[in-house]
Structure 1
């Protein structure tokens, strides 16, 4: 993703094309100058003592000291050591000699297990309307070609073409994503399941969420939970949007009965440090959220490794009882068929459910990253990620022209594309499965439900994993 978060919104009054958003970063990795330290599971006290002793650090901020782990990030930022006790991770300020001592301690295999530089992650890149239009035209062309081939009986293609003819479109009642995942047929709503969406915040005044309890906290210094960006509100709408909508539009949300937890871990400009994201995960787990949705990430180079910090955090959450499932966007760095980029960080961790994006013909989206790195970084499932209609804040660009050339959608709604949009579909459906199978279902069991019930697609598992997620009917 370009470091800039400026928008180029669609200005077509007919056949509007959604902007592409997701989890791309700039060409070079960005670091904050701080470091993440992984501590041995169950040895938080010993690990903190080791950090203080080895690196001669004294100023400490502990997430557990705040009610519900709702950390004040200004205070955490001033501390030399910021402890995320539920995760077994500390974020430290260390000069080169202190860093070397911490790395030596990690190599010795005591309470300190690993040290990694803290990085910046992102939610969005500028929209690329021309490429999105080409996506639409390419999909239309491919659909026509498939129809022609099926009618003329191309040898060896019959079964493939039959499956490929499956296509979905938004109608007056439901978005195509709600239809393709059987959410509209389900009797489950995710009722009673806590779902945390860690993103750019939320439009607390959106009319579709009036009367819905929202638990929220901002992990971005001096910024409120309010979403002036749009990414977070769009993702929350897809995961947890209402069944009956105030705006009179089609249903776009999955788990309308789920409990909404909003962690603002990305700034109004769409970026955030690992410390904020990990603090959000720590907060979500502390508050018993069973599903954690993260449409964010950083670019990974071909052959690049996954973060041992995030992997251990996700693995500990996944294997605890009942546990929490972390779901993350695979990323938008590809330009298929020419370039397939590897799954982004942190979705490339084996214990994080990585989500690819599909178009309405159930083909892989041009931008969706793939599982090309040999050491981790596979795609696990796929969701709807092209032309996804959902909620956005009232501060969204072009609201001053409702119905005009800049506003092909009703106010407070917009259609966007990206693996960021596929991810909350999966998160909402995960909540529905937890309601269907009961609160005793473990996070590992939930992973198996999502992958085991997915519709297999005639596409490489490298691109779509187990296939298209399906809601419980």
Structure 2
């Protein structure tokens, strides 16, 4: 089956949305559909789509499948790809049959959701490496300060600190440097632009890598993925100070789902999710997203996948997005972070104020911010063996992912739902409303 070539937009073709605040990116579609089936009755749904919408022949893959073959299948316009572990498919359908697909999905009880496949993006705000600027230091855990409000008052009384020579301000703010937990043995999967596999701080920390981007290896030519991996699980003693990694003894799974320009379709994200879960990830970090409109519902496919992941003991965290221009304009939390079963992470700066670009809870029913983490002027690993400074909710998200690994080490018998609840309950209250920072600033155990 051959689709009209104009229906499949190349990842690099990003027409700007005319007018409006934020990044200027509107929704971009590939021409395919993402369909989620009842795991116990997926054959009925597939057969219904074959009969009514004449979908392309279905190829079945599992999370344990050879990644190269999955990538090749996702690129082919003559097949639909069914991820058995997720009960989800990326479906090829002719333009004139799309309406039939949607109406069949609505009528067929074995089809839980059917949505157009979209492109998602990594969207950090980069900055040149610069000297550390003022920030309020981490809240003391001296034993005599128990009440968290008292901790905040103590931190404010101390005044701004300038010392970021040994530990980044972000780690100090979430108290990762004061914790005895290291995330030892816990697997964090980072779905992003890949990794610099030769980075001296990351060599020996990575358990497995995979690329679901056609024609590109897992090597990170963008920088976003390497930076996020470094923040989540960089070493306690990097080759060059300061320490920037949260869970210093966690293991890393790297899935390249965004290309070297930072773009990728939903199908590649789903492939990465299936692979990460199959390879034993307990935490999945996704510093990626796509803008949504006010009133837009969360994507059902991602939500049901995330809910199933929770049942399997896996917590997914995602960037809330950087489309706001505060204080004048606040954009809704982006997808897939707007799913109720995915932790949406906002960004705060060194003064613990909401970052100007951080998205907020404009949409309800899953579109809330869950937690906040440091995201402004974050030092972490960069391709080529060095370090870089980036800003955005993309940088806040791996702080939370790393801290979840520490929580798992401290509470190995907790379910994923219990870990989420513990994370939110122990957050440091901030002065901003919950629609901007959720439960507050994430804190290490």
1:221 equivalent in alignment to 2:214? yes
Structure 2 Cα separation of the partners of residues 64 and 93 of structure 1: 19
| Cα distance change of structure 1 residues 430 and 161 upon mapping to structure 2, 3 Å threshold | closer
1:286 equivalent in alignment to 2:278? yes
TM-score when normalising by structure 1: 0.81
Structure 1 Cα separation of the partners of residues 153 and 281 of structure 2: 41
Structure 1 Cα separation of the partners of residues 301 and 327 of structure 2: 33
Aligned residues of 2:210 and 2:256 also touching (Cα < 8 A): yes
Deviation at 1:36, TM superposition (A): 0.7
| Cα distance change of structure 1 residues 127 and 469 upon mapping to structure 2, 3 Å threshold | closer
Structure 1 Cα separation of the partners of residues 32 and 372 of structure 2: 34
Q: Deviations over 1:171-211 (max 9, x none)?
A: 22210111111111111111111110000000000011233
1:34 equivalent in alignment to 2:32? yes
- What's the C-alpha RMSD, in Å, of the aligned pairs? 2.7
Please, which moves more after superposition, 193-202 or 163-172? 163-172
Counterparts of 1:407-426 in structure 2, within 5 Å, are 412-426=386-400
Deviation at 1:73, TM superposition (A): 1.0
Q: What is residue 316 of structure 1 aligned with on the other side?
A: 308
Unaligned regions of 5+ residues in structure 1, if any? 7-23, 144-157, 395-410
Aligned residues of 1:453 and 1:470 also touching (Cα < 8 A): yes
Aligned residues of 2:48 and 2:108 also touching (Cα < 8 A): no
Classify the secondary structure of the residue corresponding to 2:201.
Answer: helix
Say which structure, 1 or 2, has more relative contact order (CA 8 Å, 6+ apart).
Answer: 1
Show structure 1 runs of 4+ deviating over 6 A.
Answer: 3-6, 158-163
Q: What is residue 364 of structure 1 aligned with on the other side?
A: 354
TM-score when normalising by structure 2: 0.86
Counterparts of 1:169-318 in structure 2, within 5 Å, are 169-247=162-240, 249-318=241-310
Classify the secondary structure of the residue corresponding to 1:449.
Answer: helix
Q: What is residue 434 of structure 1 aligned with on the other side?
A: 408
Q: What is residue 46 of structure 1 aligned with on the other side?
A: 44
Aligned residues of 1:355 and 1:382 also touching (Cα < 8 A): yes
Structure 1 Cα separation of the partners of residues 433 and 408 of structure 2: 28
Deviation at 1:89, TM superposition (A): 1.0
Q: What is residue 3 of structure 2 aligned with on the other side?
A: none
Aligned residues of 1:168 and 1:176 also touching (Cα < 8 A): no
Deviation at 1:68, TM superposition (A): 6.7
Counterpart of 1:388 (choices 364, 367, 378) is: 378
Q: What is residue 467 of structure 1 aligned with on the other side?
A: 440
Please, which moves more after superposition, 301-310 or 453-462? 301-310
Structure 1 Cα separation of the partners of residues 204 and 75 of structure 2: 35
Deviation at 1:259, TM superposition (A): 1.2
